[in-house]
Amino acid sequence: MTELTEVLIESDKVFEGRLISVRKDTVRLPNGRTSTREVVVHPGAVAVVPMLEDGRVILVKQYRHAVGKILMEIPAGTLHPDETPEECALRELREEIGYSAGRLEKLTSVYLAPGYSTELIHLFLATDLQPAEGETDEDEFLKPVTLTLDEAIAQITDGEIQDAKTVAALLLVWSKQMSREITSI
């Protein structure tokens, strides 16, 4: 739909960090006027719902400096160069909760905040979990928490789980389970 497309006129990198870069783009709007867009460039990430055989899920509590509080999240991490989303998901499971997955199912991919960020997060469900060795990142401090899926959904509803990728992935898994239950009736 070309009547909605913005055309890039100029792009200037204003910040280059370890994880992200920021650029200031000048665009031509569909009505012919120009505007400025500030864009956070991110390499992409994965987030994984690790589900135990009994249906419980493993989340992690982690302090998030940007929001100034501890959040409950599913294991997640940034893609390394030349790493597939599946490889990243398996690596993050080992690093954050000490498990490997016998089965990894892609749920979907979602943009974090497309109004200002390029970050695309690939969401997975991991099952057939087995304990595995993994080395936690030296600047990451996590506390694993195990909940039933219903408890996790209740925490979303109550506003206790506020992390968007976690909300989306858990609701997708819950929806898949509800669909299976309905079709088996």
Catalytic residues: 138
Task: Strands of 81-152 (E only): list them.
Answer: 99-111, 120-131, 142-148
**Phi, psi for residue 78 in degrees, rounded to 5:** -80, 140
Residues 6+ apart with CB under 8 A from 26: 8, 9, 10, 11, 34, 35, 36, 37
Please name the residue that has the structure tokens 């905040």. 113
Residues 6+ apart with CB under 8 A from 40: 20, 21, 22, 116, 117, 118, 119
